[in-house]
Amino acid sequence: MWLKGSLPVIEPNAQPATHSENFSLRDFLPLPNQGFHEQVEAFSQTYRQLAEDGAALYMREILGPADATVTIRDRQTGATRDMLMLGSNNYLGFANHPAIKQAVKDCIDTYGVGCGGPPLLNGTTQLHRQLEARLAALKGAEDALIYSSGFLTNVGWVTALMRPQDILIYDEYSHASLFDALKLARCKSQFFAHNDMAQLAAILKATRERAPLANIVVSVEGVYSMDGDLAPLPEIRALCTAHGAWLNVDDAHGTGVMGHLGAGTANHLGLAHGAVDLAMGTFSKTFGTVGGFIAGSQALIDYLRFFSRTYMFSASLPHTVIATVVAGLDVMRDEPWRQVRLHENATYVAAGLRRIGLDIHYESAILPIIVPESVDLRTLARRLHEEGLFCNAIEAPAVPPDKQRLRLSIMATHTRAQLDQALAIIERVGKEVALIP
C-alpha cells in the first residue's frame, strides 16, 4: 500500500488485507477443491452440525413481530418461548408500530400490493414520488431515488458514477456492498485506516498531486455498524473541499437515529444542507422494512436514474414498502420522544455495562462488547440465548479474532425493567464464562 516514502500509491481495487466485511468464507474454511457437490455438501454438513449442537445461533426462527421482545421456536428443544431482543436494527420500534401497520393496510386498498415493473417504465407511482421528495427534504437535498435494497444502492451509485479513471477513497470499515461495488466498477481505489484523518489527508494530497484533474469520491459511513462509532464528518468534508473531492456518506445506521428528527449523522454533527454530495440510507434499519435510497443534487439523481443498472433493471419496491417508510417519516416527525428515548436507553445500557466491568463507549444505538480470545464466544452466546437474551455474536472472519464481540442494538421501545433484566443476564453469564472478572 505505501511506496515512495510516505506517499500512498493508488491501485485499482486496492483493498485492506484484514477487513471485517471484505472476505469470503472460502478463504477460511477447508472446503474440498473438487466438484460442486463435494463443496456444498462439506459446508452443509459442518454448518448443520454446529446448528444442531447450538454452537451457531444463526437463523433463529422468530414466530411474531419484531419488537422489544420476540417469540422464537428453539431449535434444540422445539419449544416456543419469549426472548428479550437486543439484536435488531428496529431502533425506533417501527416494525410493529400500530399507525404504520394501519397505513400499510390502507395502502393495499388504494394501490394493491405491487407495480409489476421497473421504476423508469411502470414502477413509479404518486406514492413513490412522495417518498423520494420527503427523503430529499430529510437529507437537505434536491431529489432522491429509491433502490430495492441498501446493498443495491451502494452497488448502484458506485457502478454508475465511477469509471476506470476515477478514484474512490474509502474507510477500511466500509460495508461489504461497497467492496462488491468496487469489483464491478473497476475504478481506482484506496482505503484509509478507520477514521484516521491524517492518513486520509495524506492520501488526498498525494492523489491530487498525481492526478490534478481526476474525479475523486471519499466514501465513509455516518455510524459504523460493528463499532457504533461516528465518522468525523466535518473534518472529512473540509478535506474533500480542500482537494476537490465529492463526499459519500452511507448513513444506514444513522438515518432516523442521529440528527434533528432523525435527519442523520451529518445533521447531528452540524454539517449544512448540501454538504454531503451523495447521502445514502436504507429502510431496513430504523424503518423496519427493506430498501435503500440516495439523495443529492437534481443533476446527480437524474444521472443515476439512467446509469444505475441496479435501479433501471430492478422491479420497483411494492407500495406496501413505500407506505411503510412514508408512515415511518410521519412517526419520526410526530413522535420525537422515540429518538430521545432511544439515546436515553443506549446511555443507560452503556453505563450499566461499565458498572459491571465492561469497557463500553456510547455514540449511537449500537453497543459492541469486545470479547477476548480467551473467552469462548459461542459458549457465551449460547448461554445468553438460554437465559432469554437475543443478541448477535460476531466472530472471525467477520471481525478480526482479537475483536470478536457481542453486538447489542438498543431500541426506543425497551423499558428500563427490560434493560435491567438484560444487564443482569450479561453480568451473570459474563462472570460464568470469565468475560467479567
How far is it, in rounded angstroms, from Cα 258 to Cα 312? 31
- In a domain, residue 198? The reply is yes
Q: Which of 97, 188, 253, 319 is catalytic?
A: 253
* Sheet containing strand 143-147, strands side by side: 11-12, 188-192, 167-171, 216-221, 246-250, 278-282, 292-296, 143-147
Is 414 a known active-site residue? no
70-91 pLDDT, tens per residue? 999 988 788 899 999 999 999 9
Q: What is the pLDDT of residue 16?
A: 62
CATH code: domain of residue 115: 3.40.640.10
pTM reported for the whole predicted model: 0.92
Q: Which of 142, 143, 221, 227 is catalytic?
A: 221
50-54, 108-112, 267-271, 390-394: lowest mean pLDDT where?
Answer: 50-54
- In a domain, residue 308? The reply is yes
Q: What is the pLDDT of residue 411?
A: 98
> In terms of domains, do 351 and 394 share one?
yes
Residue identified by cell 457465551 is 380
- In a domain, residue 31? The reply is no
CATH code: domain of residue 424: 3.90.1150.10
Is 166 a known active-site residue? no
Q: How many Cα atoms occupy the beta-carbon half-sphere of 208 within 13 Å?
A: 16
Q: Which residue has the higher pLDDT, 264 or 361?
A: 264
> In terms of domains, do 327 and 341 share one?
no
- In a domain, residue 18? The reply is no
> In terms of domains, do 210 and 329 share one?
yes
Share of the chain above pLDDT 90, in %: 81
Helices (H) and strands (E) in the chain, counts: 14, 15
Q: Measured on CA atoms in the order 194, 197, 201, 204, is the torsion positive or negative?
A: positive
152-190 pLDDT, tens per residue? 999 999 999 999 999 999 999 999 999 999 999 999 999
Q: What is the pLDDT of residue 22?
A: 75
> In terms of domains, do 319 and 186 share one?
yes
- Domain end (from 301, 316, 334): 334
pLDDT-derived band at 2 (thresholds 50, 70, 90) equals: very low
pLDDT-derived band at 45 (thresholds 50, 70, 90) equals: confident
> In terms of domains, do 131 and 228 share one?
yes
> In terms of domains, do 240 and 320 share one?
yes
Q: Measured on CA atoms in the order 391, 393, 399, 402, is the torsion positive or negative?
A: positive
- In a domain, residue 12? The reply is no
> In terms of domains, do 125 and 156 share one?
yes
* Sheet containing strand 69-73, strands side by side: 61-62, 69-73, 80-85, 389-390
- Domain end (from 334, 351, 377): 334
> In terms of domains, do 330 and 340 share one?
no
Is 13 a known active-site residue? no
Q: What is the pLDDT of residue 14?
A: 54
309 and 297 Cβ atoms separated by less than 8 Å: no
> In terms of domains, do 214 and 165 share one?
yes
Q: Which of 175, 188, 319, 414 is catalytic?
A: 175
Q: Which of 171, 250, 251, 427 is catalytic?
A: 250
Q: What is the pLDDT of residue 20?
A: 61
Q: Are strands 246-250 and 216-221 parallel, antiparallel or unpaired?
A: parallel
- In a domain, residue 406? The reply is yes
Is 89 a known active-site residue? yes
Average model confidence (pLDDT) for the chain?
A: 92
How far is it, in rounded angstroms, from Cα 223 to Cα 185? 25
User: Span 198-210, mean pLDDT?
Assistant: 96
Q: Which of 19, 243, 285, 414 is catalytic?
A: 285
Q: Which three cell numbers stand for residue 225?
A: 455498524
Number of compact structural domains in the chain: 2
> In terms of domains, do 348 and 316 share one?
no
Q: Which domain holds residue 368?
A: 54-85+336-432
Is 205 a known active-site residue? no
- In a domain, residue 20? The reply is no
How far is it, in rounded angstroms, from Cα 133 to Cα 407? 34
Q: Which of 22, 149, 174, 225 is catalytic?
A: 225
- In a domain, residue 75? The reply is yes
Q: What is the pLDDT of residue 15?
A: 61
21-31 pLDDT, tens per residue? 776 777 667 77
Phi/psi for 394 (5° steps) reads: -115, 115
Rounded alpha-carbon distances, angstroms, from residue 97 to 14, 65, 148, 325: 44, 10, 22, 12
- Domain end (from 312, 334, 356): 334
Is 215 a known active-site residue? no
> In terms of domains, do 281 and 424 share one?
no
> In terms of domains, do 78 and 220 share one?
no
47-51, 124-128, 237-241, 368-372: lowest mean pLDDT where?
Answer: 47-51
